[in-house]
Amino acid sequence: MAMRSPIATAVAIGVGVIVLLGYLFPLPFLDPLRILFLDWAIILAAVAGLVAILNLFKVHWQKLSAPRNRDYYSLFFILGFIPTLVLGLLLGPGDARIQPLITAIQLPIEASLLGLLTITFAISAVRLMATRRSWISGLFLASTIIFLLAGSGIFLSDTAPSLIRETLGALNLLPGAGARGILLGIALGSLLTGLRVLLGIDRPYSE
Amino acid sequence: MISSLTVIALIIILFSAGLLLFFSLQLKRRPRWGLRPLTAFSALSRAIGLSVEEGTRLHLTLGNAGITQPHSASALVGLQALGRITAVSSISDRPPLATSGEGSLALLSQSTLRATYRLNNALDLYDPNRGRLTGVTPLSYIAGAIPIAYDEDVSTHLMIGHYGPEIGLLCEAATRNNAFTLAASDSLDAQAVLFAAAQHPLIGEELFAAPAYLQTGSAHLASVRVQDILRWGVIVALILSALLGGLGWL
Amino acid sequence: MMDTVICPQCGSVNPSENERCQWCLAPLHPDQESGPVPSETSPIDLPDWLKEADVVLTRPESTEEELPDWLLALRQAGESSSLEEPIRPESEAEGFLAPDLEKILSLGVEREETPAESSSPLEQSESEPFPARKGQSQPKGETTLAPTASSEVVSTGQPEDELPDWLRALQEEEEGSPTTETPIEIGEETTPQFFADVPSEVEGGPEWITGLPSASTEDKGFEISEAALEVQEPETSATNWAESPEGEPSSTVIPPFTEIPEDLTAWYEGEPTFTPEEQTPPPTMSSQPTAEDALSMALSSAEEEGDEPPLGIPPFNEEEYAAWLDQLNLEETLTEGEVPPTTPAFIEEVPTETTLIPEEVVPPFIEGELPQWLAESPTDESVEATAAPTAELPEWLEAMRPVEAVAPIPAQESEEDTRIETSGPLAGYQGVLPGEPEALRYSRPPVHAVRLNVSEKQRAYVALLESLVSAESTPISLRVQKPVSTTSPVLRLAVTILLLVILLLGLISGAPISPLPSLFPAEAVTFATTINTLASTHPAPRVLVGVEVDAGFLPEIRTASVNVLVDLMRQNARLVFITTQSNASVLALTLAQQAAQQVPEYVLSEQSLNLGYLAGEATGLAAFARQPQLAVTTTLDGQMASNALSLLGITGLQDFDAILLVTDSGERARAWLEQVRPLFSERPLLVITSAQAAPYLTPYVQSGQVNGLISGLVGSMTYTRLTQKVGGENLSLWSAYQMGILTIALLILLGGLTGTLQAIFPASKTTSRR
């Protein structure tokens, strides 16, 4: 089978090798190239973000103007998108008149979503043993309870029993150790994923 | 000045690349190594089949990690899964839908969809609106993805990428719609939440084994093999460092 | 030599006593012809010549005196003679092949002209599946014959004169039954040049040849369509003709020029070979497999052997054919009672079916050679008796049946043969023309069987395809996905209400359920100490403040962040804000403004700098760590970043006295630690984080990459307690936080216990449901 997009593959591999070598060996002729490529990548990512935002607007516009099954909730998106874009372009993000869009609209909404998330987590944890009965689930719930108690601040006073405090502190190290092991595994997976891209095995850029 | 850490990093990278190529070539000549069964992927195969049979949609959300970020590995895994699942379910009445929380990832998802359809000679089925950005911040991304669970007749949700704990909201929405959910993330916060909220969570580096389980190619199977070898190397290194540290030699 | 009369119809020589031609039954003396008796009077559908004899013999009023001389002589001779005596033709000119030759010639010409119409439906149906088989295509117009005739039978080269007596008798027997058109090859043996003269006739397949049950031990590709079987069904049963009240020989079911597999002839082979001594015509043939059964056997056999492509029929070779006839050592077969090993299967059936036995050969209808039964002038009762069970049929008639069975005689022959032409040059003659129009012979159009040469693999594919097609039409109940156990709305509502009530109660009461923290984590102490001692390193410490937080998580860390910023402002610190999150620059500005409100002497616009959004996240951080003035071009308010930094005395990362990171994510904190910390290793890096990111950053704290850390509300309370800020504890929030945490922990514990009990006692749950 012929290779898909050989030029794009060659460019990706070449740029990746230069950036990697420039990171490992900050030689005078490699470092500027690496910085240049990174700048290009940042610019391209920013442009991609802009294109994706426009695509998001297009999707909601199509939902709103669909001949049937119109999604009228998209109207809220459009009504929020256009003023924010116009004001941001005209006034800039540092203007005092822009801040309320974030502090008075975005922040409460996201905070409420997090509050909802708290309730969702609580319900999911409550029903975990009912939906997935296993010793791992039991261990997960026990670890959660320990973390909650250790993080509540109840045992940070002198009046709290030292045995309980020390026990909770010791038990709370176990999730940390497990998290570190998980992070190591994720790091290895990330390394190999990057190598696959670098070797041209994975080509998400090719069509 | 080249430090010792740089040399060690270079050795690890070259060693990993060599193993990856070696196993990739070897897998083409030898029978495949077996993967330990993961019920999540078995259930996923069934869910995809049911989704195609029922004419419902399959939703794959790729997270909010851009290609320039350290967490882009999880996004690349999600793109691999997207390509494979799109190819498998291309005959469905409702083609898969991909959402993301980062601009470059959204474009890559569109590119992946297009490439998959083109390889399957079904380019006419490609719709760029099925590779969609739903929000540019973590919570707005999830908030934009939640309506899809309700309005797009989705029966299967795949969450493969980098998220925060907010991914639990999408899981809850999917569960309310009686949909299948398989979730994998490289984020510890997300893993903790997904363990309780998702039907089939993947823990740790199981995320990076997803392409191998989805049979995207021999290289991914070789990658899992190399990952196992490197893990054993890390274990040996930790034990040795602990022993040497205990003996005061380190 | 007796007086002879030449038949005006066929030109054959007949005894002068005969009133009709013994070959064509044409009246030798037309003016003396009395006309035929309708065949309806005879229950037995006898051949013409026999019918005529029957008519004569069954006349009730006829007496011996009225009988003609030749018949009387025959009767007398019949009384004194035996059928077992071989009857020899008096001359070769009297051979029966002479009239047949004409018929064959005529048929051959017709079939050459209309080959498609020349065969019976079965022939057509059979010939269609075999038209010039692949790889064995035959020249057009060339007809194949039984392969054994050319391949397996070795010609003896025995001349005609050297024929044994029995064979001659057999030949004479054939001469005596011309109407049966028995495909006895012995006749050809005596006249081999006949075939040499008329090769095209064989191609066309004259009936007597086409009726040959040609078979070969090598031929296995016998294929007959079911439709063709249906067409032949009235005629194919071997028992039908034997049990027929009319005694009419049925047509053979074995098509001419058809390869007969071994299976078809197996049931013949199973029969003992008849010898002249033990040859007795079976009363009925019902005990034997019928031709239909044979065909079904052959069909099943062919299906079993379907993977083998049927062999083609080799073209006819007259020499080989004659040789095959010569090889047909009937004498040995008849005397020893067994078939030579080299004898093909189909030959084995010849003596059993055609009964080529001298004792049973019907003698020519000549004077003095009539059989005894014929000389005995049967009465009407006897005629009726002969119409009854076939077991009572005379031996000669029984012997004829197999011969006729293989000859495709039309069902309406009896009626047709009794018809007399009333006009034209053939007026007054009977049965000299074809019995009936071809169109009337068959009521159903031929059905062409289409049988493909398929292998076992192809057959398996066909079976698979059939199963798929049938499965498609079969409704299959869709496997319904197991419904996900969704949370019941009651539980969700109850938990929500409970949490809201508890949190509101904590906010309103403002009374923590535990004493305020008095034991502090080491990283928090280090954090507070570092912040409050920055002024000792520099009179106006320059602090890089990274705000990597989403708006939703800001409330959790707002208190701690503001308190820290206040402390820094009080030390006259130069604060430089930067973020890699698009909307965090505004949040940073908000935090700074809130902190500056508590420090009126601090001029935020002059003593701080907000660099705004840094694109590229980790990549941008790496660039900023190396060259801050190049990585950031403008500030949040639009100034040139390089100029603004220079005003603060900052040219590089090393000019900062500390880095304060405010984040809600461990991954974002890791980016700072990986990209910035290596270039800022000698100065303190402090982190304010949410509670969820604290476990993630604990390893960095333990490794010294993070000098100080406070997380969440606990970190805020700890910092407040460490810095002894009066009124900064925010007890209402602290109380609500603790009560909410304990409530959630209790709910999880209860839920876990309930699930565990359900797992331990599943039966009780089922019983209670019942």
User: Which chains does B contact via 3+ CB–CB distances below 8 A?
Assistant: A, C
Instruction: Say yes or no for a CB contact (<8 Å) between B106 and A55.
Output: yes
pLDDT at C726 over 50: yes
Instruction: Say yes or no for a CB contact (<8 Å) between C617 and B69.
Output: yes
Nearest to C745 among A98, A129, A145 (CB): A145
Instruction: Say yes or no for a CB contact (<8 Å) between B230 and A191.
Output: yes
Instruction: Say yes or no for a CB contact (<8 Å) between C637 and A38.
Output: no
pLDDT band at C577 (very low <50, low <70, confident <90, very high): very high
Q: Does domain B34-216 have CATH number 3.40.50?
A: yes
Report which residue type is found at B37: P
C476 at interface of B, judged by CB pairs closer than 8 A:
no
**pLDDT score at C656:** 92
**For C388-443, what is each residue's pLDDT tens digit?**
444 566 667 666 665 545 455 554 444 455 666 676 777 777 666 555 555 555 56
Using a CB-CB distance cutoff of 8 angstroms, which residues of chain A are in contact with residue B207? 186, 189
**For A153-186, what is each residue's pLDDT tens digit?**
888 888 878 888 888 888 878 888 888 888 899 9
From the candidates A73, A120, A129, A141, which should be mutated to test the interface with B, based on the most B CB atoms within 10 A? A120
How far apart CA C263 and CA C236 sit, in angstroms, is 17
Chains A, B: CB contacts within 8 A come to 186
DSSP 8-state code for residue C352: I
Give the residue on A whose Cα is nearest the Cα of C492. A123
**For C5-14, what is each residue's pLDDT tens digit?**
777 777 777 7
pLDDT band at C595 (very low <50, low <70, confident <90, very high): very high
**pLDDT score at A69:** 81
Give the residue on C whose Cα is nearest the Cα of A127. C751
Q: Once rounded to an integer, what is the mean pLDDT over residues C551-556?
A: 89
Give the residue on C whose Cα is nearest the Cα of A38. C619
How far apart CA A203 and CA C22 sit, in angstroms, is 97
How far apart CA B160 and CA B65 sit, in angstroms, is 11
**For C301-316, what is each residue's pLDDT tens digit?**
544 444 444 444 444 4
Q: Which of C199, C215, C213, C302 is closest to C259 using CA atoms? A: C215
**For C459-483, what is each residue's pLDDT tens digit?**
888 888 888 888 777 766 555 555 5
Interface of C with B in 379-408 (CB under 8 A): none
Q: Once rounded to an integer, what is the mean pLDDT over residues C645-654?
A: 85
3-state helix/strand/coil string of C488-532: CHHHHHHHHHHHHHHHHHHHHHCCCCCCCCCCCCHHHHHHHHHHH
pLDDT at A145 over 50: yes
State the smallest CA–CA distance between residue A129 and chain B in angstroms: 9
Instruction: Say yes or no for a CB contact (<8 Å) between A122 and C551.
Output: no
How far apart CA C374 and CA C49 sit, in angstroms, is 12
Using a CB-CB distance cutoff of 8 angstroms, which residues of chain A are in contact with residue B104? 44-45, 48-49, 52
pLDDT band at B4 (very low <50, low <70, confident <90, very high): confident
DSSP 8-state code for residue C559: H
Beta carbons within 8 Å of C649's beta carbon, 6+ residues apart: C542, C574, C655
User: Which chains does A contact via 3+ CB–CB distances below 8 A?
Assistant: B, C
How far apart CA A87 and CA C236 sit, in angstroms, is 99
How far apart CA C413 and CA C431 sit, in angstroms, is 9
pLDDT band at A97 (very low <50, low <70, confident <90, very high): confident
Interface of C with B in 522-561 (CB under 8 A): 550-552
Average pLDDT, whole number, for chain B?
89
> A36-50, B6-20, B165-179, C237-251: which has the minimum mean pLDDT?
C237-251
pLDDT at C455 over 70: yes
pLDDT at C561 over 70: yes
pLDDT at C284 over 60: no
pLDDT band at A109 (very low <50, low <70, confident <90, very high): very high
Nearest to A35 among C623, C712, C747 (CB): C623
State the smallest CA–CA distance between residue C711 and chain A in angstroms: 10
Helical spans, DSSP H, in C371-521: 372-375, 380-387, 395-405, 413-417, 438-441, 456-473, 489-509
Instruction: Say yes or no for a CB contact (<8 Å) between A121 and B151.
Output: no
Long-range contacts of A161-169 (CB under 8 A, 24+ apart): A165/C519
C506 at interface of A, judged by CB pairs closer than 8 A:
no
Kindly compute the dihedral angle of the four CA atoms of residues B173, B174, B177, B178, in this order, to the nearest 10 degrees: -140
**pLDDT score at C742:** 93
Query: Which is more confidently placed, C347 or A128?
Result: A128
Average pLDDT, whole number, for chain C?
64
**pLDDT score at B204:** 87
Give the residue on C whose Cα is nearest the Cα of B164. C665
CB atoms within 10 A of CB B174: 29
**For C121-172, what is each residue's pLDDT tens digit?**
333 333 333 333 333 434 333 433 333 333 333 333 444 444 555 555 555 5
Q: Once rounded to an integer, what is the mean pLDDT over residues C445-452?
A: 64
Interface of C with A in 224-253 (CB under 8 A): none
Using a CB-CB distance cutoff of 8 angstroms, which residues of chain B are in contact with residue A50? 103
How far apart CA C94 and CA C178 sit, in angstroms, is 12
Report which residue type is found at C297: M
pLDDT at A151 over 90: no
How far apart CA A77 and CA A63 sit, in angstroms, is 11
Query: Which is more confidently placed, B240 or C20?
Result: B240
> A92-106, C332-346, C373-387, C747-761: which has the minimum mean pLDDT?
C332-346
Instruction: Say yes or no for a CB contact (<8 Å) between B70 and C695.
Output: no
CB C508 within 8 A of CB C625: no
**pLDDT score at A68:** 82
Q: Once rounded to an integer, what is the mean pLDDT over residues C236-250?
A: 39
Joined tokens for residue A123: 């319900």
Strand partners, C613: C579
* Backbone φ and ψ of A5, nearest 5°: 45, 70
**pLDDT score at C260:** 42
Joined tokens for residue B192: 């903790």
Nearest to B205 among A188, A195, A199 (CB): A188
How far apart CA C31 and CA C428 sit, in angstroms, is 10
Average pLDDT, whole number, for chain A?
87
ipTM: 0.88
> C365-374, C400-409, C523-532, C722-731: which has the minimum mean pLDDT?
C365-374
pLDDT at A2 over 50: no
Choose the most confident range, by mean pLDDT, from B118-127, B161-170, C726-735.
B161-170
Query: Which is more confidently placed, C752 or A2?
Result: C752
**For B31-51, what is each residue's pLDDT tens digit?**
656 788 888 988 998 898 888
Query: Which is more confidently placed, B224 or C11?
Result: B224
Give the residue on B whose Cα is nearest the Cα of C619. B68
Long-range contacts of C536-541 (CB under 8 A, 24+ apart): C537/C657, C538/C657, C539/C572, C540/C571, C540/C572, C540/C573, C540/C574, C540/C607, C541/C568, C541/C571, C541/C572, C541/C573, C541/C574, C541/C657, C541/C658
C517 at interface of A, judged by CB pairs closer than 8 A:
yes
- C-alpha separations of A67 from A181, B94, C555 in Å: 53, 18, 43
**CA triple C543-C545-C548, angle to 5 deg:** 165
